[in-house]
Amino acid sequence: MTSHTTPPAGEAEASQKAQARRPRTRRRGRGSIQSYQTAAGKKWRYQIWVPVDPEQPDLGEKKFSRGGFATAADADAALQDALKKRDEQEKFGGKVPTLGIYADAWVEGLHLADSTIAGYKKLIRNHLRPQLGHYPLDKLTPTRIARHYRELEQHGRKDEQDKGGPLSANTVHKAHVVLGAILDAAIEDGHLTTNPAKRKAAKAPTASRMRAEKPELVTWTADQLAAFLAWDRDEKQDELFALWWVIANTGMRRSEALALKWGDLNAKTSQVSIRRAINTEDWTKTKTTKTGNARVIDIDAASLKVLTVYKVTRAEVSFELARADAYIFGDDEGQPRSPDAMTSRWDRRLKWAVKVKRFEHLPRVTLKGLRHTHATILMELGVPPKVVQERLGHSTITTTMNIYSHVTPTMQKNAVEQFAGRLAGA
């Protein structure tokens, strides 16, 4: 009969500790949840394996668990948070990352429009990383952030690559929004407990200050617009005249106009369906409109004629360019045009125009200014703001009224005169 001896308690304890220190060779899973009984009823817990020391991976892993959850769903939600924090700790070597390193990881994980992500990257590159990028996340204080905002307002980015210049309150606010979003994510990842950018001491630019510094919109009057378009068509015989006309007479965005296809034009109903926009970060591709919604707008007889004539011109180049699936304002190969290139072409037309005596005092209106001109003229004519909102594709009427607040006094005066005239004629 074989006898078994029980090791002394001290040896057993030492053996268990040695096993805990020994690197585990089992494959780590994504965690698990289990139920267990308590005096108060069934409860749930989760468990995962985490590094004994994130800075020394060779030490292996240990079990980490938390219990007391009322439902399996609660335990699973907590498990997912724990897994995320574990992954973040491993990514940054168990240390609190610097703002610069963490910001790069944060922006790469976003699922937004390409142009939005590009804007975030630019703000991080120019207005966050040069001055704050070396700070560990937990060393950023509200007062340091406030000082950073004041520095941006005074001279902007100022380093070996850029001498800097004062930034507007609007630009500083954009940097503030991005920084706040980054630090919010850092809280979720377990690197911070509070967001220093959202404390009062951070003192970001106020909404009233941004409104006060907002540049005044430059638009043309109806007469100026008509004169320029007639000159561009008749004297310059501009190949892109139809593009400028459509933007000015519909108020659509440049990227929306460049993404129009002949199939979007309904000649019978005199309507255009705006379904897509050119991706400004990769103009060989299209994306959804800015609001994510398609819209249908009416066009007048003159605009329909301009497009009809232009379609004939395109067909003379190649029948393929007049097919329903062809881009209306594509190049001669049928490919989309670059929005930035079209902005440059528009600027060139303006430079030509001001050399003409009758246009020497013509205000410089950007290509986006054509869209603003369309909206301003409509509102001055008393067109309901809701209709203007629908034509422009703004997500809310508030956006429309905020942008074109300069027209409100004219609208009010017209309304008062119409009201008084109606009473006088009653």
Report the alpha-carbon distance of residue 313 to residue 242 in Å, rounded: 11
Instruction: Give residue 345's Cα distance to chain centre.
Output: 26
Please state which of the ranges 9-13, 198-202, 222-226, 397-401 shows the lowest mean pLDDT. 9-13
Most confidently predicted of 161-165, 256-260, 383-387, 414-418: 256-260
Average pLDDT, the chain: 86
Report the alpha-carbon distance of residue 116 to residue 281 in Å, rounded: 10
For the residues 195-200, what does the mean pLDDT come to?
94
3-state SS assignment for residue 65: strand
Ranges of each domain in the chain: 29-91, 99-213, 222-420
Q: What is the pLDDT of residue 291?
A: 83
Q: What is the pLDDT of residue 268?
A: 96
Higher model confidence: residue 374 or residue 155?
A: 374
3-state SS assignment for residue 110: coil
Residue of 258, 248, 247, 237 whose CA lies nearest to 309: 237
Report the alpha-carbon distance of residue 306 to residue 230 in Å, rounded: 12
The answer on pLDDT for 52 being more than 70 is no
Report the alpha-carbon distance of residue 244 to residue 353 in Å, rounded: 14
**Which DSSP string do the residues of 207-228 spell out, in sequence order?**
HHHHHHHPPPP----HHHHHHH
Q: What is the pLDDT of residue 161?
A: 62
- Write the CA distances from 23 to 17, 19, 52, integer angstroms: 12, 8, 9
pLDDT digits (tens, 9 = 90+) for 220-268: 999 999 999 999 999 999 999 999 999 999 999 999 999 999 999 999 9
Higher model confidence: residue 89 or residue 286?
A: 286
User: At 390, is the pLDDT very low, low, confident or very high (cuts 50, 70, 90)?
Assistant: very high
CATH classification of 222-420 is 1.20.1050.10, yes or no? no
The answer on pLDDT for 100 being more than 80 is yes
Cα Rg of the chain (Å, integer): 31
- Write the CA distances from 225 to 75, 284, 341, 367, integer angstroms: 64, 31, 22, 12
Helices in 25-113 by DSSP H: which ranges?
Answer: 72-91, 99-108
Both tokens of 2, joined, read: 């074989």
pLDDT digits (tens, 9 = 90+) for 14-49: 544 444 443 333 334 568 899 999 988 999 999 888
The answer on pLDDT for 403 being more than 90 is no
Please state which of the ranges 335-339, 385-389, 399-403 shows the lowest mean pLDDT. 399-403
Both tokens of 182, joined, read: 């980054």
Half-sphere exposure of residue 247: CA atoms within 13 angstroms, side-chain side:
27
Both tokens of 206, joined, read: 């106020």
Report the alpha-carbon distance of residue 91 to residue 81 in Å, rounded: 15
The alpha carbon dihedral of 392, 398, 399, 405 has a sign of: positive
User: At 56, is the pLDDT very low, low, confident or very high (cuts 50, 70, 90)?
Assistant: low
pLDDT digits (tens, 9 = 90+) for 120-130: 999 999 999 99
Both tokens of 352, joined, read: 């030509």
pLDDT digits (tens, 9 = 90+) for 332-382: 999 999 999 999 999 999 999 999 999 999 999 999 999 999 999 999 888
pLDDT digits (tens, 9 = 90+) for 163-194: 678 899 999 999 999 999 999 999 988 889 89
For the residues 287-294, what does the mean pLDDT come to?
86
Fold that domain 99-213 belongs to in CATH: DNA polymerase; domain 1 (1.10.150)
Q: What is the pLDDT of residue 93?
A: 57
Q: What is the pLDDT of residue 10?
A: 52
For the residues 309-319, what does the mean pLDDT come to?
96
